[in-house]
């Protein structure tokens, strides 16, 4: 059963917070900045309102997940820290002497209460509304980009994951006390997953009960990580791999296995929209969704800044129809073509035909492709194949046995012609320089909030991780802008 309001903290020790949690503490500032009662409204349907024992306050549970995103700790470690960290207890709405939750409650909260919720859009909308209310969101431009997150299991088998985490734990223990090597449980030597899980359970039990160093902070982190993998993710381990993660490409020779988070961010560095997809999805196809989500959050979008991935023809048409400036360079293949200079044919403007390097002129031309679709039309020029067969320069130009020889050029659409002209303006060049801001935001997500690797498997888990990480960085940015 869920209570309809937070319980007032009544404790003879509550004045301690004014002494040990200063006014400029980030968690105190977040508490004062955000009205978290929206959590009640969003989760009301997930609880029984008039039956059963009282549930743990959903705001407190949500704040635990926010702390995890801010400080990048495991469930066990975040609960452990909330036992003695007064800023945590203040943030969680607890009295100094209150006992903490069991870490397994966070797993239940994620799986039972946050399931089937569009948490990502809801939390971004809350921060954008807060920024508008504080009058710190003034720009009408959004910067778009994508950041990559590797899958938790990274194409490894479940057994390899367990072996890797058990190895790291043993290494830390050996560095503390080499004498325990002879007492350790015997390693699993076969390829049976169940046997590997059993070995890891024995290893955890030995370190907790017999090693004498289980409470050393250096040991606790790998110990808790291995325990969490065994206890919380056995059902995921049995799936063998992450079922949703896909192989994507950062460049022609660089690939990753995981997910993409497509972001839209204002020039004030506030994220206004996000779309989380599997790794193989195209970046440019998400632009329309990012614009519409930003507008739905309350953002007025007049300019979009991005890289060449967002300058595809469909996006040029969409932004033009909606009176939005698209500051994204066209692919060089459109503006310059892909042929080497020495392989180019020359255009004879008098004849209206192309002339090959050997000096032979095309005999006819034809237009290919449909007008008004996403792909540009081609103009194809046909050459006398009998001349090509005898040409001294035919090597690399004419293929033996071919029944025709053609040379095609792309007919640039009106949208591409306009974008080429726009690219040369000083306004375009000045706006393009703002793109570095979103690269810095991607770096913050990855290096300060653990967004480089997924904390769980599956697209739903990735969306939850993304929602909490983006909510955290947006709140931190709002605090900075308010100051």
pLDDT tens track for 389-424: 988 888 888 888 888 898 887 767 788 889 989 999
In this predicted structure, what is the pLDDT of residue 6? 54
Threshold 0.85, pTM exceeds: no
CA proximity to 76, closest of 242, 198, 214 = 214
- Burial environment of residue 89 by CB neighbours within 10 A (0 to 12, 13 to 18, 19 or more): buried
Q: Which string of b and e fits 145-154 if b means at least 16 CB within 10 Å?
A: bbbbbbbbbb
**Is residue 432 helix, strand or coil?**
helix
Residue whose entry in the numeric block shows the structure tokens 């979008």? 301
CA proximity to 172, closest of 111, 219, 237, 221 = 219
In this predicted structure, what is the pLDDT of residue 171? 92
In this predicted structure, what is the pLDDT of residue 374? 55
Distance CA 367, CA 356 (A): 19
In this predicted structure, what is the pLDDT of residue 239? 45
In this predicted structure, what is the pLDDT of residue 336? 53
Below-70 pLDDT ranges, the chain: 1-9, 153-157, 211, 232-243, 247, 249-255, 333-344, 349, 370-376, 411
Distance CA 228, CA 234 (A): 9
């Amino acid at each position: 059963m869920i209570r309809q309001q937070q319980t007032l903290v009544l404790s003879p020790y509550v004045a301690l917070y004014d002494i040990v949690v200063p006014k400029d503490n980030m968690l105190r500032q977040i508490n004062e900045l955000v009205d978290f009662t929206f959590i009640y409204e969003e989760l009301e349907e997930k609880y029984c309102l008039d039956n059963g024992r009282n549930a743990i306050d959903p705001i407190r549970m949500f704040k635990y997940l926010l702390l995890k995103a801010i400080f990048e700790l495991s469930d066990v470690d975040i609960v452990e820290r909330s036992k003695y960290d007064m800023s945590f207890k203040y943030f969680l709405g607890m009295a100094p002497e209150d006992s903490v939750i069991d870490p397994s409650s966070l797993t239940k909260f994620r799986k039972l209460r946050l399931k089937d919720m569009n948490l990502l859009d809801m939390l971004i909308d809350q921060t954008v509304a807060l920024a508008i209310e504080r009058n710190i969101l003034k720009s009408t431009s959004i910067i778009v980009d994508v950041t990559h997150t590797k899958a938790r299991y990274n194409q490894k088998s479940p057994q390899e994951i367990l072996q890797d985490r058990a190895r790291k734990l043993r290494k830390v223990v050996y560095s503390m006390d080499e004498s325990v090597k002879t007492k350790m449980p015997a390693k699993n030597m076969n390829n049976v997953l169940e046997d590997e899980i059993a070995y890891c359970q024995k290893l955890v039990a030995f370190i907790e009960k017999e090693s004498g160093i289980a409470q050393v902070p250096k040991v606790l982190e790998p110990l808790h990580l291995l325990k969490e993998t065994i206890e919380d993710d056995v059902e995921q381990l049995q799936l063998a791999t992450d079922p949703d993660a896909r192989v994507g490409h950062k460049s022609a020779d660089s690939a990753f296995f995981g997910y993409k988070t497509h972001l839209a961010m204002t020039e004030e560095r506030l994220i206004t929209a996000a779309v989380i997809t599997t790794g193989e999805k195209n970046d440019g196809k998400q632009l329309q969704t990012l614009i519409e989500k930003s507008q739905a959050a309350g953002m007025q979008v007049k300019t979009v800044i991005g890289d060449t991935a967002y300058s595809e023809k469909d996006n040029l048409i969409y932004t033009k129809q909606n009176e939005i400036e698209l500051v994204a360079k066209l692919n060089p293949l459109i503006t310059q073509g892909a042929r080497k200079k020495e392989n180019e044919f020359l255009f004879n403007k008098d004849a209206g035909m192309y002339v090959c390097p050997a000096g032979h002129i095309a005999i006819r031309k034809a237009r290919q492709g449909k007008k008004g679709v996403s792909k540009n039309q081609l103009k194809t020029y046909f050459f006398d194949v009998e001349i090509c067969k005898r040409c001294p320069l035919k090597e690399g130009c004419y293929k033996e046995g071919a029944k025709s020889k053609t040379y095609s050029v792309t007919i640039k659409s009106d949208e591409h012609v306009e974008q080429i002209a726009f690219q040369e303006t000083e306004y375009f060049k000045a706006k393009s320089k703002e793109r570095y801001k979103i690269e810095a935001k991607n770096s913050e997500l990855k290096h300060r909030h653990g967004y480089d690797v997924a904390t769980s498997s599956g697209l739903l888990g990735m969306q939850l991780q993304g929602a909490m990480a983006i909510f955290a960085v947006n709140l931190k940015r709002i605090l900075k802008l308010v100051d």
